[in-house]
Structure 1
């Protein structure tokens, strides 16, 4: 891999990007904030630096994998050598929600507010993923019978392989150090009440701890403020509803605890940088109906 090379598949109906494999050998492509209407996977082969995802910063190194969801803003800062592979796929090309039982990467690689988007790999795992990348590249250059089906099959294997790696790492980490009980309680509380409780104080009262202390714990373990954690959980559900259903934005807002549709739209835009309607228009919707 000595030169930047791009393999792109365009949706014949929308004329927009459906699937892309991009081989990069410097950081020029990543100098500006990225906020795509498709999923992004980056395999870092050489280089190190920081990635800012949403409102948090994470370190990355050689042999790291980074995964970002639809319209999840991220920016990469690195100096020196930066080589690797970037994969983009639009949800119309492959919907992780519809194929959750087959692939189960939603909540593991994507849309997990409690974990870093950066996954550490060992050499054998890097080579395993690179083999799949090579198969994707070969098929992208071969516009033959059932090309789409083969590309999706290779993508599924890549997503399953990466998910297994991350899950196995999580099990190993839990064996080494059990998660503090307060964090388990906080995650359970957010998952149960995010539709109706939006303020940090409501969760600190529920857990019988000061808001300041709970926010400090959240920053230490999740690299996010408590308010940021709650907001991200609301946004993930809002995105899911906008994509999978044809419910009016007003209805989605109400179901997520917003009595004012316009306040919900401002909240969504402040976190995603686009309006709910624009998200729906560019990502697609009613996929579950």
Structure 2
């Protein structure tokens, strides 16, 4: 059960060296790491050895050896496990030198995209050896102050992400869940992230692609297994849970922030999508 916390959930502030850092997981401990928290940067957590569990956005995952978790900015997570390995983070400012870079990261076969359902990536022995070499190279380079070269670190990081992408595809093929891809769905994700609080109609998103709502739904259904409305509702529910669990905001305040005009309707929406009322969810989190 999550710890009883009634304050606004913080964005964790750690003594990072700059726009990128890498460190052993054993050193990744402070007053927040074992409590629910979130970051304003991308984070990679690689368990070389692990036993226990890891919560990401209110879902607990069993932690095992050779397991990789990829976190986007804003995701709530909590570590409750024994761990050896590495974590690294990088900011948008570090990685996104230009527009092409941003499109490349978001297009890493949806490495940091969760429309197919979030989950850790199991790493093969050979890839683990490559990861270890790359983490050592990255750590060595960032410790070469003041001559540390951002471009060199970024190339090592790109290699790490490409290997992670390959492992994610291998995981999907082994579970008979091949990942399909459509660039329009990547663009849709960005639109949903920008407008989910204010635009709740499929027509708005379909117009952005000059498509009919029916056609856009067909595209998202083929690629993600979900309709545009379902993807939108998933995002609204997630943000609702984050606010209910980790803020002082009233249900009415959360309702208005998420673009609902009627708190009673918002409560019905939340219960229809979760099976529990907003107030009951909040009370459950604090037991």
Query: TM-score under structure 1 normalisation?
Result: 0.55
Q: For 1:166 and 1:178, how far apart are their aligned partners in 2?
A: 10
**Equivalent position of 1:72 in the other structure:** 75
Question: Is 2:27 the partner of 1:19?
Answer: no
**Equivalent position of 2:167 in the other structure:** 165
**Equivalent position of 2:35 in the other structure:** 32
Relative to structure 1, the CA distance from residue 178 to residue 27 in structure 2 (aligned partners, 3 Å threshold; closer, same or farther) is: closer
Relative to structure 1, the CA distance from residue 24 to residue 87 in structure 2 (aligned partners, 3 Å threshold; closer, same or farther) is: same
How far residue 48 of structure 1 moved from its aligned partner, in angstroms, is 1.6
Q: For 1:235 and 1:95, how far apart are their aligned partners in 2?
A: 26
How far residue 171 of structure 1 moved from its aligned partner, in angstroms, is 2.8
Question: Is 2:110 the partner of 1:108?
Answer: yes
Question: Is 2:58 the partner of 1:55?
Answer: yes
Question: Which residues of structure 2 form unaligned runs of 5+?
Answer: 1-13, 180-184, 203-213, 215-224, 240-254, 271-287
How far residue 50 of structure 1 moved from its aligned partner, in angstroms, is 1.5
Of structures 1 and 2, the one scoring higher in RCO (CA 8 A, sep 6+) is 2
Relative to structure 1, the CA distance from residue 57 to residue 109 in structure 2 (aligned partners, 3 Å threshold; closer, same or farther) is: same
Relative to structure 1, the CA distance from residue 69 to residue 40 in structure 2 (aligned partners, 3 Å threshold; closer, same or farther) is: same
Contact between 1:42 and 1:67, CA under 8 Å: does it hold in 2?
yes
Relative to structure 1, the CA distance from residue 172 to residue 197 in structure 2 (aligned partners, 3 Å threshold; closer, same or farther) is: farther
**Equivalent position of 1:122 in the other structure:** 124
How far residue 121 of structure 1 moved from its aligned partner, in angstroms, is 1.0
Contact between 1:7 and 1:21, CA under 8 Å: does it hold in 2?
no
Q: For 2:51 and 2:121, how far apart are their aligned partners in 1?
A: 13
Question: Is 2:141 the partner of 1:133?
Answer: no
How many residue pairs get matched? 197
TM-align CA RMSD: 4.2
Query: TM-score under structure 2 normalisation?
Result: 0.56
**Equivalent position of 1:85 in the other structure:** 86
Q: For 2:48 and 2:29, how far apart are their aligned partners in 1?
A: 16
Q: For 1:72 and 1:33, how far apart are their aligned partners in 2?
A: 10
Question: Which residues of structure 1 form unaligned runs of 5+?
Answer: 1-5, 11-17, 180-186, 199-205, 207-220, 237-259, 271-289
